[in-house]
Amino acid sequence: MRLSRYFLPVLKETPAEAQIVSHRLMLRAGMIKQSAAGIYSWLPLGFKVLRKIENIVHEEQMRAGHMPMLMPTIQSADLWRESGRYDAYGDEMLRIKDRGGRDMLFTPTAEELVTDIFRSHVNSYKDMPLTLYQIQWKFRDEVRPRFGVMRGREFYMKDGYNFDLTKEDALHAYNRHLVSYLRTYERMGLQAIPMRADSGPIGGDDTHEFLVLADTGESEVFYDSAVTDLSFGDRDIDYSDVAQCAGVMEEFTTKYARTDETHDEALFHAIPEERRRTARGIEVGQIFYFGTKYSEAMGATVQGPDGKPTPVHMGSHGIGVSRLLGAIIEASHDDNGIIWPEGVTPFHAGIVNLKQGDAEADAACEAIESAMEALGLEPLYDDRNERAGGKFATMDLIGLPWRITVGPRGLKNGVVELTSRRTGESEELPPEAAVAKLAEIYKGHMVKGL
């Protein structure tokens, strides 16, 4: 992509309304634009990252054997009356009357609708286990939407629902989700710690939230510092292996890590003092097991092996997809701008031409651009007639993890400069070697984008 043709409306001024760094940087980098309180348009750069994050979530859910589908944003109130949540949900639910005067709503979550799909189509235990999920826009009519996409009203969420015959099967589904979420966040360069949490309006006993530590987090969290040493890494996982998934669950949830909702001072003080930590965290996901709460209320039963109708055991599992952009930026930025982890960066490297219009420099930039594209890498080539300082500032602001700087002086020696956004370190090397190094860096970090 050539920057001269890209719609990247970066802002020089820091928008006054933005209170936290991710909100400021997303506005300044031309990723989003507010259209109403808590409602945003995703400009091309923001949408590109959103789509990559969405695709990572899809890949990891499908890897776990979960089935992608899509439910509508506008739902009838009837199903929500069956579960009793239409009245219980409160003012955060956006309630709508259609032209026929029927009560509708903009889905804040989809337990009712997916349970209806299940009960309409599945009659036998033989068609289970089944986990359906979607990534779809949701709406929660917050009183005080704030922090940009971190606490918007319209937001993009992955919500998955497992249907199992027994509690044991459903707990395996719970563990499977925990494992797939650990993988998902790590691919995005995030450490998200599963913490015992409160179930809120979804209901149920077993639930963990995934929290990214950040000063701007809305939750106060308490944990044993040993949990931050855990990493899923690239270990092989067989999602049908009950013991293996349970093992990961145990490894990642045994040490103390709780939000203030479930915090227990006595247990916390059983941790050696030097490992006790209090911090703030951003919630980026949550998993629930709630048993037969919805299946009993809505008559979602299957014929069990004994021939008898059995209400199914369910859980639901969410990832805040649009919120993740904010969380990643909160966790990865500096004074100059965003620093994208390799797994989610909108472009793999920026190409900065120090002397636009110089035949040799232009040709070298175009050659690097083509060579990257031939390897499936996406460059953003700043081909504008701007000073080098302005070009560097834009690249730093939008946060591409790697930059190739091309100028007549280097080219005389046959080299360009490859710079890490994270460390600021540069090395000089021939253009082909710079491209080869990028290919090596991004091996294992390639995500289907747009």
Give the span between the Cα atoms of 332 and 190, in whole angstroms.
Answer: 9
Report if residue 71 touches its own copies, rule: CB under 8 A.
yes
Class of residue 36 by CB neighbours under 10 A (exposed 0-12, middle 13-18, buried 19+): exposed
Using the rule CB under 8 A, which residue among 12, 121, 308, 443 binds its own copies? 121
If the CB atoms of residues 96 and 270 are measured against its own copies, the closer one turns out to be: 96
Strand partners, 310: 302
Stretch that binds its own copies, among 102-110, 263-271, 351-359, 413-421 (CB under 8 A): 102-110
If the CB atoms of residues 15 and 200 are measured against its own copies, the closer one turns out to be: 15
Stretch that binds its own copies, among 90-98, 180-188, 248-256, 352-360 (CB under 8 A): 90-98
Q: How far is the CB of 207 from its own copies (least distance, A)?
A: 25
- Cβ(162)–Cβ(149) under 8 Å? no
Total residues at interface with its own copies (CB under 8 A): 58
SS3 20: coil
Give the span between the Cα atoms of 146 and 24, in whole angstroms.
Answer: 12
Report if residue 94 touches its own copies, rule: CB under 8 A.
yes
Residue 379's H or E segment, with its range, is strand 379-382
Spatial CA neighbour of 337 closest among 384, 393, 389, 390: 393
Using the rule CB under 8 A, which residue among 80, 106, 222, 289 binds its own copies? 106
Report if residue 357 touches its own copies, rule: CB under 8 A.
no
Q: How far is the CB of 51 from its own copies (least distance, A)?
A: 8
Give the span between the Cα atoms of 248 and 172, in whole angstroms.
Answer: 11
The site string for its own copies over 17-46 (x = CB under 8 A, - otherwise) reads -------------x--x-xx--xxxxxx-x
Q: How far is the CB of 389 from its own copies (least distance, A)?
A: 20
Using the rule CB under 8 A, which residue among 15, 17, 67, 299 binds its own copies? 67
Report if residue 137 touches its own copies, rule: CB under 8 A.
yes
Q: What is the 3-state secondary structure (H, E, C) of 84-113?
A: CHHHHCHHHCEEEECCCCCEEEECCCCHHH
Report if residue 187 touches its own copies, rule: CB under 8 A.
no
Report if residue 429 touches its own copies, rule: CB under 8 A.
no
Give the span between the Cα atoms of 352 and 419, in whole angstroms.
Answer: 11
Using the rule CB under 8 A, which residue among 63, 76, 246, 445 binds its own copies? 76
DSSP 27-48: HHTTSEEEEETTEEEE-HHHHH
**DSSP-assigned letter for residue 401:** S
Report if residue 12 touches its own copies, rule: CB under 8 A.
no
Q: How far is the CB of 143 from its own copies (least distance, A)?
A: 7
Phi, psi of 307 (to 5 degrees): 85, -5
Q: What is the 3-state secondary structure (H, E, C) of 143-193?
A: CCCECHHHECCEEEEEEEEEEECCHHHHHHHHHHHHHHHHHHHHHCCCCEE
Residue 194's H or E segment, with its range, is strand 192-196
Using the rule CB under 8 A, which residue among 60, 111, 116, 383 binds its own copies? 116
If the CB atoms of residues 122 and 404 are measured against its own copies, the closer one turns out to be: 122
Report if residue 91 touches its own copies, rule: CB under 8 A.
yes
If the CB atoms of residues 19 and 41 are measured against its own copies, the closer one turns out to be: 41
Report if residue 16 touches its own copies, rule: CB under 8 A.
no
Count other C-beta atoms under 10 Å from residue 244's C-beta. 16
If the CB atoms of residues 50 and 193 are measured against its own copies, the closer one turns out to be: 50
Using the rule CB under 8 A, which residue among 28, 85, 119, 153 binds its own copies? 153
Strand-pair category, 130-139 with 103-106: unpaired
Q: How far is the CB of 246 from its own copies (least distance, A)?
A: 21
Interacting residue ranges for its own copies, rule: CB under 8 A:
5-7, 9, 30, 33, 35-36, 39-44, 46-48, 50-51, 58, 62, 65, 67-76, 79, 91-92, 94, 96, 98-99, 102, 104, 106, 113, 116-117, 120-122, 130, 132, 137, 139, 141, 143, 153-154, 448, 450
